[in-house]
Amino acid sequence: MIVLNDDGEQKPGKGISRLKNSASTGSERSDFYPWQKHNWEHLQALRKRPQHGLLLKGNKGIGKFDLAINYARSLLCQHPDEAGFACRQCPSCHWFEQGTHPDFCLIQSEALSVEAEEGEPGKKPSKQISVDQIRGLADFAGMSAHQGGRRVVVIHPAEAMNSNAANALLKNLEEPPPGMLFILVSHKPQQLLPTILSRCLSINLPSPDTKSAVHWLAEQGVENPAAVLAASGFAPLQAVVQQPGFEERAKLLRAVRQPAALDVYALAETLQKTEQVVVVQWLQQWTYDLNRIKLAGTLRYHPGEEIVMGKLVESIAPLTLARLQNYLLSAKREAQHTLNPRLFLESLLLTYRQFMLER
């Protein structure tokens, strides 16, 4: 994946861990939310009549962006299954997973990009998509596609394009490079240029009815799902994000997947306001899945992370993972009595790193 930053410079994407598999429920794998079944089938039917511009529109917090990403993954996969789900095994899926797919480009505002979360403190990230970001597409369009000539650009949210950016995109839509598909994601399509709208096939994404949204939230482990859903303005994904600890958990999971690069002290600082027992539980779930992928090739708590987690445990002995699990058990007991959260977390993360780097 190429991510075009504010200066229009290309840089390799850091992957899309933020949203990976958020559409999965339980052990059953799916690349769309339960309320998007018709949309997914519609999109799959479109494979036979390639488009140049798609507009996925609908309310905020209903999973439009995830659908766009999973559709892009599906289009680029070399061996999608009958339902169109990407195989997650082929080289294309590997690249996609690792954020290095040469035929995929994600354009979003700095405020939304993963990089921004780790950006310079004090600098407010821009909420706009700039003209340089769109112009940067020229290089992407100029490169020849690596597979089957298909290339996908996701623009999210499309209304974040300022007028210069929108006009630059319009040129691309008027003379689309061969094989290029632009997927615009928007919850304010009325703010888009009519000329852009007229060049895109518009697809309405429904909001789930209350019953299915509550059911889905309950499956995600959200407590009081009905109340949480209402408080989020009936945007189920928003409701998940608003769960206490959601951001912290995401940061932890991003960090522990690269033990060698794990900045123990910075992460401990980030996590010190979260209950220590909860942090240990997150690590326990992570380690449980590391063990499970090693022994059984499947995951329970982190569906869709098969490739990343499988790689991570490749050179780790099963016994080491068992010892790590034992250590976490005792750490969980200790977490209930600890007086210095910061020190406790540092020691927890240091020990994790030590186990993971043991050879």
**Which positions from 28 to 67 touch Zn ion by CB under 5 A, shown as an x/- string?**
----------------------------------------
Q: Which segment (60-68, 80-88, 258-266, 334-342) binds Zn ion by CB under 5 A?
A: 80-88
**Which positions from 143 to 172 touch Zn ion by CB under 5 A, shown as an x/- string?**
------------------------------
307 makes contact with Zn ion (CB under 5 A): no
> What is the smallest separation between the CB atom of 91 and Zn ion, expressed in angstroms?
8
CB-wise, 147 or 347, nearer to Zn ion? 147
> What is the smallest separation between the CB atom of 253 and Zn ion, expressed in angstroms?
23
CB-wise, 79 or 323, nearer to Zn ion? 79
> What is the smallest separation between the CB atom of 81 and Zn ion, expressed in angstroms?
9
Q: Which segment (78-86, 229-237, 305-313, 329-337) binds Zn ion by CB under 5 A?
A: 78-86
CB-wise, 77 or 173, nearer to Zn ion? 77
* C-alpha 275: how far from chain center: 25
90 makes contact with Zn ion (CB under 5 A): yes
Q: In the set 2, 4, 77, 267, which binds Zn ion (CB under 5 A)? A: 77
Q: In the set 19, 46, 87, 262, which binds Zn ion (CB under 5 A)? A: 87
131 makes contact with Zn ion (CB under 5 A): no
**Which positions from 92 to 111 touch Zn ion by CB under 5 A, shown as an x/- string?**
-x------------------
Query: How many residues line the site for Zn ion (CB under 5 A)?
Result: 5
Q: Residue numbers of the site for Zn ion (CB under 5 A)?
A: 77, 86-87, 90, 93
